[in-house]
Amino acid sequence: MGVVLGINLSHDTSVCLIKDGEVFAAEEERWSRIKHNSKNMQDEYLFPEKSLKYVLEESNVCINEISLVVCVSMSSYDIMYESIHGREELKQFKNVIYITHHKAHILSGFLLSPFNKAVGICVDGAGSVLGLDYLVRERVSGYYLDDSKLIRIFSNHDKVSVNVDDGKIIKHKNSLGRFYENFARRCIPIGDEPEGSMMALAAYAENEEEYYEEVSGLIELFPEGHFQIKGSYATDTKDAYIFGDYEWILGEADRIPFEKRANMAAAVQRVYEETMIHVLNELYNRCPIDNLVISGGCALNSKFNGVIKANTKFKNIYVPPAPNDGGVALGAALYAWNYLLGEKRIKTPVSSSWGPKVEELSEEEKCELVRKNIEVIDTDEDNLYSEVARLLADKNIIVWCRGRMEFGPRALGNRSIIAHPGDVDVSKRLNRIKRRAEYRPLAPSILKDRFNDFFFGDADYYMNKVAYVKDCELLAGCSHKDNSARVQLVDDSGEFFKLLQAFEKMTNLPIILNTSLNMKGIPIARDKEDAIDIFEKLDVDAAVIGNSLLVKRRCRKRAK
């Protein structure tokens, strides 16, 4: 077997190495502690030096053992070629090639999916440049995929026209992802994550129709799945939007009443969903296969992912663990592993724990914590799970940092802050602790075989689909305004699985509230130092770091 390496060279810089069918992957932001590993989202080619060092050391691979390196960026072919062959960091590798942004996105999903063949759709803000003359970019791409090939069967990209008066070229950007983002940045106050908050805000709409007709008129649908976004709504414009009695200005959402912003969010979400369904119906007509893979930044729209089955003919939906740009390194490595080297496909994972394992606390670190009035408890695993379950049952909020770091934008039980799912006051407190908007819901993690007892709809292992809560009083802490929840299924024998079992034994609830282990504006924790820093700075009650339970003295009395 060979060794392959995938590298993402644009924002959300990341690396993935595959050796003997085992995946090692990480995003550079976990080391740099800078969101998206870019101080300016326009900066490209930030080399993922530390994540590369990690995958090489963890896999015990030397540079000269790597058979093939596949790079991904969003540049045009000539710029990409120059960047690969002119960069000092890449000169250490032999056999360096590159693939397009959308191809890497969709392969990060299909080649991990359980499907032998599928239709794929990639939707994001922007992909690779398709035409050198006018910088036309990938926006929506559709594919047929099987074990040996992928074929592009659909593209809805930027358009180019000529001004009849002066003969100048006019470029019409056509990005559905940018359309959604533009409205989100006018509905969501600065400091809050725009797109995720937009989905949450939409559930509070009291009059979805208020802006729907105007917003739907901004996207013209054409036969065969195509669409065109009008005006500047798909560009990086800073122009004010005029809807109703308000100017919707970038970065000034607080000027507009909450209920108006909620109505706008609902209208935009509905139009986004209708446009996507228009495209998906055409893809099914062209390639009537039951299986759908969806990737790209827009695949993080979990609300839409949860309704695809009900609104199209696709029966099986797969969203990869990292559909965001960080995941293209994974897609690049899988492309090399499967399509170029012809190796056997990797078994569909139920976890994306491909990063570094958290180290145990040293005696010096424990003593320092004790000096800060924190109780340090070392116990065996069974007692650890029981004690944490008891603390959760008593409504304490706990940092949970165990095992290997996950790859992708979600916290999935190894780098999490956890709490009781049945108490709305606990969830409100957790939102305050993390300085999140109060209307944003928190996600439940549940033992896979108990999902149907508490939810209906669709769910997956990576929190990429929205389901609906059966008993909202029982799960008041994780039920959103519209009774929805972005559910994570847990189905392995790892540490988080065992904690869920212990919590169920104590409370009859196989569910734990789960949010990412980070502070506002900072990437998810990587190591024990990050976890300790977060534990000390946030108003949480306890922490599990490796095999050590840390309890702030004020909270200990709440545990029996």
Percent of the chain with pLDDT strictly greater than 90: 81
**pLDDT band at residue 559 using 50, 70 and 90 as cut-offs:** very low
Nearest residue to 468 via CA among 450, 448, 453, 486:
486
Q: Check for a shared fold between 1-100+321-349 and 113-319.
A: yes
CA 285 remoteness from chain centre: 29
Q: Report the CATH superfamily, name and number, of domain 1-100+321-349.
A: ATPase, nucleotide binding domain (3.30.420.40)
As a residue count, the chain comes to 560
Tell me how far apart the alpha carbons of residues 526 and 387 are, in angstroms, rounded to a whole number. Answer: 24
Q: Answer for the pair 20, 108: CB distance below 8 angstroms, yes or no.
A: no
Section 180-187 average pLDDT: 96
Residue 159: the pLDDT is 74
Residue 114 has pLDDT above 70, yes or no: yes
**pLDDT band at residue 86 using 50, 70 and 90 as cut-offs:** low
Please list the helix, strand and coil fractions of the chain in percent, rounded to the nearest 5, in that order. 35, 25, 40
The domain 113-319: what is its CATH number?
3.30.420.40
Residue 421 has pLDDT above 50, yes or no: yes
Residue 556 has pLDDT above 60, yes or no: no
CATH 3.40.50.150 fits 363-556, yes or no: no
Residue 186: the pLDDT is 96
Residue 522 has pLDDT above 50, yes or no: yes
Domain ranges of the chain: 1-100+321-349, 113-319, 363-556
Is pTM, for the whole model, over 0.75?
yes
Section 196-200 average pLDDT: 97
Residue 389 has pLDDT above 70, yes or no: yes
Sign of CA dihedral 97, 20, 411, 296: positive
Tell me how far apart the alpha carbons of residues 160 and 255 are, in angstroms, rounded to a whole number. Answer: 36
Tell me the residue ranges of DSSP E strands in 230-357.
241-243, 246-248, 291-295, 316-318
Residue 43: the pLDDT is 47
Q: Which residues share a beta bridge with 69?
A: 5, 96
The predicted-structure confidence for 12-28, as pLDDT tens digits, reads as follows 999 999 999 999 999 99
For 256-271, give one letter per residue: b (16+ CB within 10 A) or e: beeebbbbbbbbbbbb
Dump the DSSP string for 410-467.
S--SSEEEEE-TT-HHHHHHHHHHTT--TT---EEEEEGGGHHHHEEE--BTTS-SEE
Tell me how far apart the alpha carbons of residues 107 and 70 are, in angstroms, rounded to a whole number. Answer: 13
Sign of CA dihedral 509, 480, 196, 332: positive
Residue 173: the pLDDT is 84
Residue 38: the pLDDT is 72
Q: Answer for the pair 463, 413: CB distance below 8 angstroms, yes or no.
A: no
H helices then E strands: how many in the chain?
18, 29
Of residues 555 and 403, the one with the higher pLDDT is 403
Residue 77: the pLDDT is 56
